[in-house]
Amino acid sequence: MARQLGAQTIAFERNIHILSTAATVGPKEGEGPLGQEFDVVLADMLAGESSWEAAESKIVERNMKLAIEKAGIRQEDVDYILAGDLLNQSIGATFGMRSLERPYYGLFSACATFGEALGLGAILIEAGGAKMVAAAASSHFCTAERQFRLPLEMGGQRPPTASWTVTGSGAAILGSDHAKPRITHITTGKIVDYGITDVNNMGAAMAPAAADTLRAHFADTGREPTDYDWIVTGDLGHYGRELVVRQLAEEGIALGSNFTDCGIKIYDQQMQDTHAGGSGCACAAVTFCGHYYRLLAQKKIKRMLLVPTGALLSTVSSQQGESIPGIAHAVAIECGI
C-alpha cells in the first residue's frame, strides 16, 4: 500500500522500477548537446509519412515498440499503456498506440503529460492492477507550430521568450526489477493560474505551477532541494527557470545549481537559435528517457526529481481572452540498489 504524504504526495511501498526507456527525436534535437544519447535520431521531420501528424504517430509507435524491446519483454506483457500529446484530441498518442493493442488510458496535462503517465502508471502497479505498464508522451515541432501558432510557411518572427517545440517521443516501461531505477514518490500538481496571457512566454505561465509543486513536494516529504542530485523541470526554459528560482527564494526555498530544466538541456541556446529553450510533451520525455535515465541506470546520479510542466491552453481559450494556467507533476526517482 502506498502512503499519502501531506496534501499532494504519494510514497510507494512496493518497489516500482523503470525497466527501460526509449527516446526518439528529430534532426534538430539530434544536433543538440544530448544528441548522442537518444536511441533514434530521425533524418527528417516526416519519418517516411505523408503528414507531420502521421509522422508524430509513427514516432510514438516505433518508440514504444523499442522501449518494450529494450525491456526484454513482449508487447502482451504490457498491462496498460498511458500516453498523451499536445494535438487536438490527442491524435499523436491515439494513432501511435493503436497497433499496440493494449488496454489504453489517454492522458492530457499538456507538456506535463509524461509526469502524469509515470505517476498513474506507478499507481496502477502499486494497486495490484498491473505488473508492467508503459508511459509515453510526444510532440512534434511542425504539428504544434501549425496547430497553436502560425503556418510554418509564413516563417514568422519568434520573440526571445518563445520556446522551440521538441520533436520526438519518450517511453518508459514500469515494472519490478531491483537493479533498475525506482520511482519512490510522486507529487501531483494543481492547476495554477497567475493570469499570464502571453502565448509566446510559456515559461512564465508554467513557472508558478512548477514552484507550487516543488513547494508541496518539499513540504510533504520533509526533503530539501539538496537531497536531490538533480531537480529537473520539463520545459520552463531559461526564463521560466529563473522565475521559479526567484519565487521559491522569496519563500525561503533555495534552489541551487542542481536545479535545471529539460528545455535548457536539450538545445544549445547560442548555436541552435532556440531562444527560451525546448518545450512540448517530448521535451521532458526524451530528455529523461535519453539522458537522465542513463545516468540513473549507470548510478552516476543517485536521486532525482523530474517535474514535467504543462501550459493548459488552446487557441480558442487564448482567442477568448483566457489566461494560461499551468500544471506540474513531480516524480522522484532513485537508482537501484
Residues that bind a copy of itself (CB under 8 A): 1-4, 7-8, 10, 13, 50-51, 53-54, 79-80, 84, 86-91, 94-95, 97-98, 100-110, 116, 120, 123-124, 126-131, 147, 188-191, 193, 312-317, 320, 322, 325, 327
Instruction: State the nearest-atom distance from the C-beta of 310 to a copy of itself, in Å.
Output: 9
Which residue do the cell numbers 517511453 mark? 171
Q: Which is nearer to a copy of itself, 157 or 320 (CB)?
A: 320
Return the number of other C-beta atoms located less than 10 Å from residue 256's C-beta.
9
- Nearest residue to 121 (alpha-carbon basis) of 78, 162, 66: 78
Q: Rounded distance, CA 172 to CA 328, Å?
A: 19
Residues 6+ away with beta carbon under 8 Å from 237: 163, 202, 203, 261, 263, 264, 275, 276, 277, 278, 279
Residues 6+ away with beta carbon under 8 Å from 295: 301
Which residue do the cell numbers 511501498 mark? 13
Amino acid type, 157: Q
Instruction: State the nearest-atom distance from the C-beta of 199 to a copy of itself, in Å.
Output: 12
Instruction: State the nearest-atom distance from the C-beta of 1 to a copy of itself, in Å.
Output: 4
* CA 24 from centre of chain: 13
Instruction: State the nearest-atom distance from the C-beta of 53 to a copy of itself, in Å.
Output: 6
232-239-289 Cα angle (round to 5): 25
The helix/strand/coil state of 330 is strand
Q: Which is nearer to a copy of itself, 12 or 239 (CB)?
A: 12
Q: Which is nearer to a copy of itself, 115 or 290 (CB)?
A: 115
Q: Which is nearer to a copy of itself, 147 or 272 (CB)?
A: 147
Instruction: State the nearest-atom distance from the C-beta of 152 to a copy of itself, in Å.
Output: 15
* CA 252 from centre of chain: 27
Instruction: State the nearest-atom distance from the C-beta of 3 to a copy of itself, in Å.
Output: 7
Instruction: State the nearest-atom distance from the C-beta of 41 to a copy of itself, in Å.
Output: 25
Q: Which is nearer to a copy of itself, 84 or 240 (CB)?
A: 84
Instruction: State the nearest-atom distance from the C-beta of 70 to a copy of itself, in Å.
Output: 23
Amino acid type, 34: L
Q: Which is nearer to a copy of itself, 153 or 157 (CB)?
A: 153
Q: Which is nearer to a copy of itself, 264 or 332 (CB)?
A: 332
Q: Which is nearer to a copy of itself, 23 or 86 (CB)?
A: 86
Task: Please say whether the beta carbons of 213 and 191 come within 8 A.
Answer: no
Instruction: State the nearest-atom distance from the C-beta of 68 to a copy of itself, in Å.
Output: 16
Task: Please say whether the beta carbons of 197 and 161 come within 8 A.
Answer: no
311-91-141 Cα angle (round to 5): 55
Q: Which is nearer to a copy of itself, 79 or 334 (CB)?
A: 79
Q: Rounded distance, CA 208 to CA 9, Å?
A: 18
- Grid cell, residue 238, equals 531559461
